[in-house]
């Protein structure tokens, strides 16, 4: 079983920056993906960014050029640097781990961007 502990998030003004972190612990499969998703009330959870253990990345079109995902494999930690934030980035952000078995989700962290 894998546990995820998220940190970061909070409030920022439009154009500002925030950084999210997510540390995984437990039965970490050596081949895995970690990433961030976000979800607004009444909407489906959507991919923000995802990174493989080898560093391959995927971004949602809406965040390309503004957000950067990275990971420290030695610490089993994934980071999401969010720059040039927009009010539409306001959501609950969830860390995700995909390895062997069903995916694991973090508890979610609120990101609020004011105009």
What the block records as the tokens of 5 is: 């502990």
User: Which SS3 state, helix, strand or coil, does residue 48 take?
Assistant: strand
CB 16 within 8 A of CB 113: yes
Under the banding of pLDDT at 50, 70 and 90, the label for residue 29 is: confident
CA 114 – CA 21 distance, rounded (Å): 21
Task: Please report the pLDDT score of residue 42 as a whole number.
Answer: 92
**Across the chain, what does the average pLDDT equal?**
95
Take residue 85 and report the two structure tokens written for it: 């934030």
Q: Are strands 33-39 and 91-98 parallel, antiparallel or unpaired?
A: antiparallel
Please list, in sequence order, all residues whose beta carbon lies within 8 angstroms of the beta carbon of residue 96, skipping any fewer than 6 positions away: 4, 33, 34, 35, 36, 37, 50, 103, 104, 105, 106
What local confidence, expressed as pLDDT, does residue 34 receive? 96
pLDDT digit string, tens, across residues 34-78: 999 999 889 999 999 999 999 999 999 999 999 999 999 999 999
Instruction: Let me know: does 14 contact 113? Beta carbons within 8 Å.
Output: yes
- pLDDT, position 115: 94
């Amino acid at each position: 079983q894998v546990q995820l502990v998220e940190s970061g998030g909070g409030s920022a003004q439009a154009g500002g920056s925030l950084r999210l972190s997510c540390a995984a612990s437990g039965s970490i499969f050596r081949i895995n993906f970690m990433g961030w998703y976000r979800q607004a009330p009444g909407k489906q959870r959507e991919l923000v960014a995802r990174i493989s253990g080898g560093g391959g990345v995927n971004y949602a079109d809406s965040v390309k050029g503004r957000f950067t995902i990275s990971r420290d494999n030695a610490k089993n930690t994934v980071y999401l640097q969010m720059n040039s934030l927009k009010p539409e980035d306001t959501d609950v952000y969830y860390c995700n781990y995909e390895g062997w078995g069903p995916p694991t989700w973090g508890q979610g962290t609120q990101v609020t961007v004011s105009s």
